[in-house]
């Protein structure tokens, strides 16, 4: 499932190619994504208008359009956004093709259809964004602010990281890697963390996400960037998917436990 580094990788790939380009037509496939605006809405707010440079909030991609509408895209579990020469070949599971001026198609493909492609009229802030927490790289995110969010709450730290309503964009893979790097047990109740531990967690969150963006994201199952290439950060994963392998720090076997229905990989000896 694409997380912040994968969405940022896609954003960076698309921005120089799409900014300022006009949308000529929008074609919808036979099957819709679970959340997809109607062809008439895309037509009304997109056709003939220029795209501004895409932005990212958490795991959402946002394209502002000339005239003030906003296209919001979420890749769900298996969504891909690709830029292909127009006319793009007929591929399976394509739900939307945005035909751009200059001979390019922006193609949204999603085998499992958990993705979203929604257009919002000018002056309508996309409602899904109201649930998105602060960006991990924001100056407004500090160890005291995190401690404040955790006050009086006993939920496990891993679940807190995955939630997205406090810190945006972190999913299962990066939560595991961040907790390992910070040396904190994924089941620690958040109200038990010291300010020093929040500081370490924040530092490692930023370091891990930055490293992953630099490597073009992580490809474990499906992720491809806008040019159809895999990421490389999977080569640097230290605990995720490594149950039973020796911890790279101490040699103890990496352990898996299930939290909120998701697998957590951690080192029981380094992460107390």
Q: Is 262 labeled as catalytic in the residue annotation?
A: yes
Comparing CB distances to Zn ion, the nearer of 105 and 177 is 177
Among 210, 249, 256, 262, contact with Zn ion (rule: CB under 5 A): 249
Q: How far is the CB of 86 from Zn ion (least distance, A)?
A: 51
**Is 178 in contact with 208 (CB distance < 8 Å)?**
yes
Q: Is 59 labeled as catalytic in the residue annotation?
A: yes
Say whether residue 267 binds Zn ion (CB under 5 A).
Answer: yes
DSSP string spanning 123-170? T---GGGGG--B-TT-TT--HHHHHHHHTT---BHHHHHHH-SSB-S-
Say whether residue 22 binds Zn ion (CB under 5 A).
Answer: no
Per CB under 5 A, which of residues 146..185 are in contact with Zn ion? none
Q: How far is the CB of 162 from Zn ion (least distance, A)?
A: 22
Block residue for tokens 């080192």? 267
Neighbouring residues of 52: CB distance < 8 A, sequence distance ≥ 6: 19, 20, 63, 64, 65, 66
Give, rounded to a whole angstrom, the gap between the first and last alpha carbons of the chain: 28
DSSP symbol at 22 = B
Q: Is 3 labeled as catalytic in the residue annotation?
A: yes
Q: Is 50 labeled as catalytic in the residue annotation?
A: no
Lookup: tokens for 98: 């945005």
Say whether residue 246 binds Zn ion (CB under 5 A).
Answer: no
Per-residue mark of binding to Zn ion, 191-230 (x: CB under 5 A): ----------------------------------------
Among 233, 247, 265, 266, contact with Zn ion (rule: CB under 5 A): 247
Distances (CA, A) of 167 to 163, 164, 271: 8, 5, 21
Among 91, 121, 250, 260, contact with Zn ion (rule: CB under 5 A): 250
Q: Which positions are catalytic? A: 2-3, 59, 262
């Amino acid at each position: 499932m694409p997380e912040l580094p994968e969405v940022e990788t896609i954003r960076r790939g698309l921005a120089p190619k799409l900014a300022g380009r006009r949308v000529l037509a929008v074609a919808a496939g036979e099957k819709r994504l679970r959340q997809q605006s109607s062809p008439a809405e895309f037509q009304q707010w997109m056709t003939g208008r220029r795209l501004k440079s895409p932005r990212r909030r958490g795991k959402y991609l946002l394209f502002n359009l000339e005239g003030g509408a906003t296209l919001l895209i979420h890749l769900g579990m298996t969504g891909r956004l690709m830029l292909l020469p127009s006319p793009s070949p007929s591929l399976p599971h394509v739900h939307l093709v945005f035909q751009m001026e200059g001979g390019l198609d922006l193609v949204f493909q999603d085998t499992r259809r958990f993705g979203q492609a929604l257009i919002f009229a000018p002056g309508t802030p996309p409602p899904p964004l109201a649930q998105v927490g602060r960006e991990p790289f924001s100056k407004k995110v500090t160890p005291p602010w995190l401690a404040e969010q955790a006050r009086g709450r006993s939920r496990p730290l891993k679940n807190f990281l995955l939630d997205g309503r406090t810190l945006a964009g972190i999913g299962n893979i990066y939560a595991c890697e961040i907790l390992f790097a910070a040396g904190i047990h994924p089941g620690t109740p958040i109200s038990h963390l010291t300010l020093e531990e929040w500081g370490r967690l924040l530092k490692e969150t930023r370091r891990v996400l930055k490293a992953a963006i630099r490597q073009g994201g992580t490809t474990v199952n499906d992720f491809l960037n806008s040019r159809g290439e895999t990421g490389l950060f999977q080569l640097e994963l230290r605990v995720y998917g490594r149950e039973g392998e020796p911890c790279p720090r101490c040699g103890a076997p990496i352990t898996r436990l299930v939290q909120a229905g998701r697998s957590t990989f951690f080192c029981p000896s380094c992460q107390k």
